[in-house]
Structure 1
Amino acid sequence: MINELKKALLIGVGAVAATYEKANELISEMVQKGKLTVEEGKELTEELKRDFKEKTSSTTNKVKSKFDDLKPITKDDLKAFVQESDIPSRLELEALRRKIEELEEKLNRKEES
């Protein structure tokens, strides 16, 4: 799950970075074509940088929050899982093994007599 969260974060940051780069290129083209003044281009670029930083920071904070919500599995959690899953314990398996051996011995004795 942690790898999936890392991948999601990287995809999100990559998408925002690619969008930032394309928007920056568009602003530069508009300045070159005279559709924007150099000052307007600088202003838009600065606004774009702020927005980029805010979005990456927001995404990073969300992912960090998800990581913080994750907790390691404790012995008690594992025991509860085993009990809920109705998985026999080692002691129960050993008891069953002994019972089978006893029954096999009784069966062998009956067959011999």
Structure 2
Amino acid sequence: MLNELKNVFLAGVGSAAYTYEKAIKLVDEMVQKGKITVDEGKELSEELKRTVKTKTSDESSKPITKEDFRELLKEMDFASKEDFDSLNNRLNSLEEKINKNDAE
């Protein structure tokens, strides 16, 4: 489970980096084709860097806490260890009743 969430997180980081790289390439292509000036290209590149830096230092990119993680799993309707333990206890109780009735 933790591996899957780690992969999702890394995919998000990777896609953000990929998007940034594509945007920089697009700006370079526009400069080469003469659609924008070199100065405008530099300005756009700097704007992209500032935006990425702001987004990464933003409050929303703070490390996730254990409580945040639990809340996220709860919102996603994942079963907790307590849920599994409760179901396991109920299952054991039912098995005992069935075995007791079969023995009679």
Q: Name the Cα RMSD after superposition.
A: 2.2
Name which of 29, 49, 55 aligns with 1:18: 29
Mind listing any 5+ residue stretches in structure 2 that lack a counterpart? 1-11
How far does the alpha carbon of each residue in 1:16-63 deviate from its partner, in whole angstroms, 9 at most, with x for none? 11122222xxxxxxxxxxxxxxxxxxxxxxxx3322211110111112
Greater relative contact order structure (CA < 8 Å, 6+ sep): 1
Name which of 55, 60, 84 aligns with 1:66: 55
Aligned length: 91
Residues 17 and 81 of structure 1: is their aligned pair in 2 closer, same or farther, counting only changes over 3 Å? same
Amino acid at match of 1:82: L
How far does the alpha carbon of each residue in 1:68-110 deviate from its partner, in whole angstroms, 9 at most, with x for none? 2323221111111223333332123112212211221121111
Q: TM-score, normalised by structure 2?
A: 0.72
- The sequence identity of aligned pairs, in percent, is 26
**Aligned counterparts of 1:85 and 1:50: Cα–Cα separation in 2:** 47
Higher mean displacement: 85-94 or 70-79: 85-94
User: What is the 5 A alignment of 1:1-113?
Assistant: 1-23=12-34, 48-69=37-58, 70-113=61-104
**Aligned counterparts of 1:83 and 1:14: Cα–Cα separation in 2:** 41
Amino acid at match of 2:42: K
Greater gyration radius: 1
Mind listing any 5+ residue stretches in structure 1 that lack a counterpart? 24-47
